[in-house]
Chains A and B, each alone.
Chain A
Amino acid sequence: MLSAAVILTIFLGFWGVVVKRNLIMKILSMDVMSTGVIAFFVIWAARSGVFTPIYKPWRQVDYADPVPQGIILTAIVIGLSVQALMLVGVMKLSRNHPTLEVESIEQAVASGAQSTSTDD
């Protein structure tokens, strides 16, 4: 049940990246997708147990697997920095394309490419 919800989150995020027209919405969808992937790791880490993996000799409990949790920390940090970088890029783009609609940006980019190639 839980993993089905996580897979659904990842899928919805990916779907959003493909179909949403606004650039900000696309970035938000990508964030949803990466949240799904993070949850995917956390669920798999909790397969063997749910206790925080800090070893105490007097606690005989089922610890969660620390390796996926450690890996996903790296991925969270990378995802955050990539997103920050993309938002900065979007801020710069919004100066000339205030609506941030992907189609209008792509049209402008394509017409710009044509005009420079005819200039040459």
Chain B
Amino acid sequence: MTELTLVWVALPFLLAFTTYLMPALTRPSLVGMAALTVAYAVQQGGLPGTTAAPLELQLLDHFGVTLRIDANGAAMLLAHGLVTLGVALYLDRRFAGSRFLAMQLLIVHGSANAVIISADLISVYVSLEVLSIGVFLLLTYGRRAEGQPTVEENAPHRDRQLWVGLRYLFMSNVAMLFYLMGAILVYVRTGSLAMSSLAMADPTALALIAVGLLAKGAIFVAGLWLPLTYVTADPVIAAVLSGFTTKAGAMALVRCSEASPVLAQGLPYLSAGSAVFGILLALMASTPQHLLAWSSVSQMGFVIAAPQWAGLYGLAHGLAKPLLFVGTSVTHPWRWPMLLLGTASLAGVPGSLGYAAKALSLSALDPWHEWLLVGVTVGTTCLGVRVLRAPVSPMKGVTTSATPWQDKVALVLWGGGLLWGWLPAAYGADNLLKALLSLGVGIPLGWFWERIPLKKGSVNEGLEAVVGGLSVVLVLVWVLFGEVSHGALP
């Protein structure tokens, strides 16, 4: 098992560099790698409702590399595999430089896998940095080849993608510098870089580490970078981003909180803040893409709400959002099952994976937190109805008359995964009642939303706001952890 794990972690990078020499193999190796990840995740208990014994590998001494694979992480790995598999099929001739994109996707896939299973601070740092470089290249080079006029006319869109990519790289690099400072403070205090040593870390170090991971995970105000990035990127690339790259940061944060009681006590406040912040801005947004992007910030709050169900929630959200991003960009009839399945899972309609994940997460929370998130679910349902009712507007440059076979495969892969929601533990009477309550309020609210006189608001999403938001979050988290460690908060 150890050998298999090591080969599986290293293989994406090896394949990516090999395919530079043999470009013809890029897509087959990407598909193969994604299938291998799915198989590995299933074997490690990644399917909802199954479990497996956690695997812990200490590769070097206590300064060095530690890996840990448990059922929580395996569920997230399943999402990596399924999303990559779906997106790999899209990356064909319709994309300019599709082989380069496929190679970058291999690297992004490999580094996201590495983040999920790393259990020491420096492996997480390195994997997250590689992830952000890969995501930058995907963002800036993800362009459709067809339907594009000339290079000159296309320049504004190209500049926009480049700018959004640069903004992402700026934000993530600054955030990771904070993270590094936190890591050295932990090392000085405890003499170890393993995540288990976070238990003895002081609040300053925890705050610095948390800011880095919050920014990568697009949680709370640190997620200001996300909406414009998702809206500007090609829908298929947005599927990769929303499918698993942001969740990598959130999963690392969850993993850290398992070791540190202070972080674990502070996490509910961050989760609640992110859920409310995201949903308020999502309700004020106007286009379906903006709605979905802001709703991602809100959903990240749900992912980190209950650490023991973070993987399952990440899987449910990681399959629903790609379906929605692809679904809103096409006009053929297959759009409707895609959107219906995606919104149903997002809103937690009983029977879907989203319902099971939500019910299990919420039942593990404190009452104030639980009812707050039920309230946010009403907003999510409202958003879902608005996305379904939004006028069909195809993305520029995407031919839509015929249904590409990739859309059907994506529907089967991602939508099929969303139907895997029959976990008996999630079907208690109170859980069903909560779901019906939020659906009953949310659906009429969404239906009549356009008639409610409301000022359309927006926030400053400029580079200064994104980086300045980080400093605000840093101060907030620092105060929060300081209070928690002094026992001032319950």
Interface residues of A (CB under 8 A from B): 10, 14, 17-19, 23, 26, 30, 33-34, 37, 40-41, 44, 47, 67-68, 71-72, 74-75, 78-79, 81-82, 85-86, 89-90, 92-93, 96-97, 102-103, 105-106, 108-109, 112-113, 115-117, 119-120
Contacts and interface: CB of A to CB of B under 8 A. Distances in A.
A112 B173 contact: no
B232 interface: yes
B459 interface: no
B471 A14 contact: yes
11 contacts: A14-B471, A18-B467, A34-B177, A71-B183, A74-B126, A82-B129, A82-B169, A89-B165, A89-B166, A103-B462, A106-B163
Given A68-B184, A93-B159, A81 B166 contact: no
Contacts of B471: 14, 18
A92 B394 CA distance: 29
Contact of B184 (A41, A93, A115): A41
B136 interface: yes
Contacts, number: 110
B160 A74 contact: no
Contacts of A113: 160, 231-232
Interface string B195-233: 000000000000000000000000000000000000110
B157 A116 contact: yes
Tell me whether chain A's interface is mostly helix, strand or loop, or mixed. helix
A120 B392 CA distance: 10
B396 A85 contact: no
Nearest to B129: A78
A25 to B, nearest CB: 12
Task: For the complex of A and B, list the 6 residue pairs with the smallest distance between their C-beta atoms, beginning with the closest.
Answer: A112-B156, A120-B393, A78-B129, A109-B160, A89-B166, A37-B177
Interface residues of B, number: 44
B163 A67 contact: no
B133 A81 contact: yes
A78 B162 contact: no
A17 B170 contact: yes
Contact of B173 (A72, A79, A103, A105): A79
Given A19-B464, A96-B155, 11 more contacts: A10-B181, A14-B174, A68-B184, A71-B183, A82-B169, A85-B133, A89-B166, A93-B162, A93-B166, A109-B164, A116-B396
A1 to B, nearest CB: 18
Contacts of B395: 120
Contact of B166 (A19, A90, A108, A120): A90
Contacts of B165: 89
Given A18-B467, A67-B187, A113-B231, A75 B169 contact: no
Given A67-B63, A120-B394, A86 B160 contact: no
Contacts of B463: 26, 102, 106
B122 interface: yes
Nearest to A33: B177
A53 to B, nearest CB: 13
Interface string B157-196: 1011011111001100110010011011001100001000
A26 B187 CA distance: 30
Contacts of B163: 93, 105-106, 109
B125 interface: yes
Contact of A102 (B132, B160, B462): B462
B467 A17 contact: yes
A74 B122 contact: yes
Given A17-B467, A67-B63, A82 B156 contact: no
Contact of A86 (B156, B170, B468): B170
A27 to B, nearest CB: 8
A9 to B, nearest CB: 12
Given A92-B162, A102-B464, A44 B174 contact: no
Contacts of B394: 120
Contacts of A17: 170, 174, 467
A51 B315 CA distance: 50
A92 to B, nearest CB: 6
Contacts of A26: 170, 463
Contacts of A97: 159
B140 interface: yes
Contacts of A71: 122, 183-184, 193
A92 B126 CA distance: 27
Contacts of B193: 67, 71
B406 interface: no
A75 B123 CA distance: 11
B485 interface: no
B51 interface: no
A113 B129 CA distance: 29
A109 B167 CA distance: 12
A89 B133 contact: no
Contacts of A44: 184, 187-188
B154 to A, nearest CB: 11
Contacts of A75: 125, 180
A33 B169 CA distance: 15
B5 interface: no
Contacts of A30: 170, 173-174
A42 to B, nearest CB: 10
Given A40-B181, A40-B184, A86 B169 contact: yes
B287 interface: yes
A85 B232 CA distance: 20
Given A93-B159, A109-B159, A117-B287, A82 B122 contact: no
Interface string B448-468: 000000000000001110011
